[in-house]
Amino acid sequence: MKTALITGITGQDGSYMAELLLSKGYRVVGMVRRTSLEKFERIEHVRERIDLVQGDLTDQSSLDEAVKNSMPDEVYNFAAQSFVPTSWNQPALTGDVTGLAVSRMLEALRKYRADARFYQASSSEMFGKVMETPQRESTPFYPRSPYGVAKVYGHYITVNYRESYGMYACSGILFNHESPRRGIEFVTRKVTDAVARIRAGKLDRLKMGNLDAQRDWGFAGDYMEAIWLMMQGAEPRDYVIATGHTHTVKDLVDRAFTAAGLDWQKYVETDPKMIRPAEVDLLRGDPSKAKAELGWTPKVQFPELVEMMVRADLERHGVTA
């Protein structure tokens, strides 16, 4: 039986990856940080089938202990300060947790389990002010936020440990992926949750930022399959994981409101305070390397994804579609 250590198991991706690995017969160990109130909603349904260890990405000794005690065959490093706007408000913390901490994880592995396979959660935010479209593995990075800059560090330090120490360390450059478990502040979930609250009579206005931004949105469940395949290769390689299709935030808003029988123009207003200091205008990934080498293609398309999220939020708010 293989053992996997997942950092960020309480997040969106960690919870889907835990499910996937359990279904494949892994022993799953999740690293969680100490909080005054437990926030295990996303893993409640698998709680009895996984082991939890306490650790924080800012604390080397806790990472060492997590690795020493779990002796993983595979490590999935999902933990991060992952919200882009917060990275302007907390740039040094984001640099530490999202960037430098990748070195700490790699050092813990190098010391105690150098033959474990390591996955780093790289991001399309590294492409930022894009140098070409679609973005592929060879596209130069031009990050546009402290978050993006920190992810570039995490990406290259992973490449560096692979090349310096021959470790099986790889990165997935994942484009935005969403689900009913997406954090409420990210744009998809913010919109689908607002739609449900409007239908429930709990909200009458929705303030948004830049409606013209374009993103390549996929389903988190599909993307976890790609990550797992990446970790089973004959040698470690980095891959772009995306759908290859792009939509504006306005399109997302329109679809989500329409799915609940609402006209978005009656409820949505833009708030200049929500415009970011520097924006990533357009992301569209080219997943052809993942398709050719991993045999991976996304199953859920954008319209189904939005409908799935609207449906889940309507249910959460007790509204019948």
Which residues are the active-site residues?
123, 125, 147
Using CB under 6 A, pick the residue from 3, 94, 123, 243 that binds ligand NDP.
123
Which span (49-57, 202-210, 227-235, 299-307) binds ligand GDR, by CB under 6 A? 202-210
Please report whether residue 7 would count as binding ligand GDR according to CB under 6 A: no
Among 75, 84, 231, 308, binds ligand GDR (CB under 6 A): 84
Binding span for ligand GDR by CB under 6 A among 48-56, 204-212, 221-229, 302-310: 204-212
For residue 163, what are its two tokens? 């090349």
**Which of 210, 248, 258, 288 forms a contact with ligand GDR (CB under 6 A)?**
210
Q: Which partner in ligand NDP, ligand GDR, none is near 278 (CB below 5 to 8 A by kind)?
A: none
Q: Which stretch binds ligand GDR (CB under 6 A): 45-53, 109-117, 127-135, 184-192?
A: 184-192
Choose among 85, 35, 17, 61: nearest CA to 280.
Answer: 85
Judged by CB under 6 A, does residue 58 bind ligand NDP? yes
Three-state SS for the chain is CCEEEEECCCCHHHHHHHHHHHHCCCEEEEEECCCCCCCCHHHHHHHHHCEEEECCCCCHHHHHHHHHHHCCCEEEECCCCCCHHHHHHCHHHHHHHHHHHHHHHHHHHHHHCCCCEEEEEEEHHHCCCCCCCCECCCCCCCCCCHHHHHHHHHHHHHHHHHHHHCCCEEEEEECCEECCCCCCCCHHHHHHHHHHHHHCCCCCCEEECCCCCEECCEEHHHHHHHHHHHCCCCCCCCEEECCCCCEEHHHHHHHHHHHCCCCHHHCEEECHHHCCCCCCCECCECCHHHHHHHCCCCCCCHHHHHHHHHHHHHHHCCCCC
Q: How far is the CB of 268 from ligand NDP (least distance, A)?
A: 22
- By CB under 6 A, which span of 80-88, 195-203, 269-277, 281-289 interacts with ligand NDP? 80-88
Selected binder of ligand NDP within 2, 39, 45, 68 (CB under 6 A): 39
Q: Does 285 bind ligand NDP (CB under 6 A)?
A: no
Q: Which one of residues 213, 260, 282, 308 is an interface residue with ligand GDR (CB under 6 A)?
A: 213
Nearer of residues 4 and 280 to ligand GDR, judged by Cβ: 280
Interacting residue ranges for ligand GDR, rule: CB under 6 A: 82, 84, 123-125, 175-176, 185-187, 190, 208-210, 213, 215, 249, 274, 276, 279-280
Interacting residue ranges for ligand NDP, rule: CB under 6 A: 7-8, 10-14, 33, 39, 56-58, 78-82, 97, 121, 123, 174, 176-177, 183
